[in-house]
Amino acid sequence: MENKRREVQKDESAARSRRTVVKSLVGGVAAFAAYHVLPTNWSKPVIEQIVVPAHAATSGVTLHDPCTVTYLESVDPGNDAFNVFGYVSPPTAGLTVNVSITSSITATSTTVDTNTGTTTTQADGTFSLDITVGSALGAADRVDTTTTVTGADGSANCFSIRPPED
């Protein structure tokens, strides 16, 4: 019985050593193949710049919400000037910006006047537009704006409280 155990142990030992030899051979062949696949000298990549087609250049542009609207001045009796400012990211120049501005009387929820304007984004992605809207001789006390940018996702909404007449 003990002889039989010794024979089994010898067989297991021989099988382990054969596995070890096979593993070493496979590893050596893989390393040898990898060494010969790599270039001998590294060189600069052929592609140095990728030019994106114009229709793809604006994909993924986002208009940030909210925008900013600032009261500038009363330009003449019954009209007020405001500046609407916002930006898109990533910065993209030349996108068309459409702004709609509405003046209203907060206490009665009455719309006084609506006006629209158009501008374009600058190289840094910002836009700014001065726009005039009727105030019904100072009765309007709030302006709301909605901004959309052609080629950008989303819309921006902002408002401003018009300062009272002196």
- Alpha-carbon Rg for the chain, nearest whole angstrom, is 36
pLDDT recorded at residue 48: 54
Q: What is the residue extent of each domain of the chain?
A: 1-43, 61-161
Q: Is 127 exposed, middle or buried (0-12, 13-18, 19+ CB in 10 A)?
A: buried
Could you read off the pLDDT of 8-26 as tens digits, one per residue? 566 667 667 777 767 777 6
Query: What is 61-161's CATH number?
Result: 2.60.40.10
163 in Cβ contact with 73 (< 8 Å): no
- Identify the segments of the chain with pLDDT beneath 50: 58
pLDDT recorded at residue 58: 47
pLDDT recorded at residue 127: 94
135 in Cβ contact with 103 (< 8 Å): yes
How far from 47 is each of 5, 42, 50, 55, 64, CA to CA, in Å?
A: 66, 15, 7, 22, 33
Contacts of 22 (CB under 8 A, 6+ apart): none
Q: Look up residue 162 and give its DSSP letter.
A: P
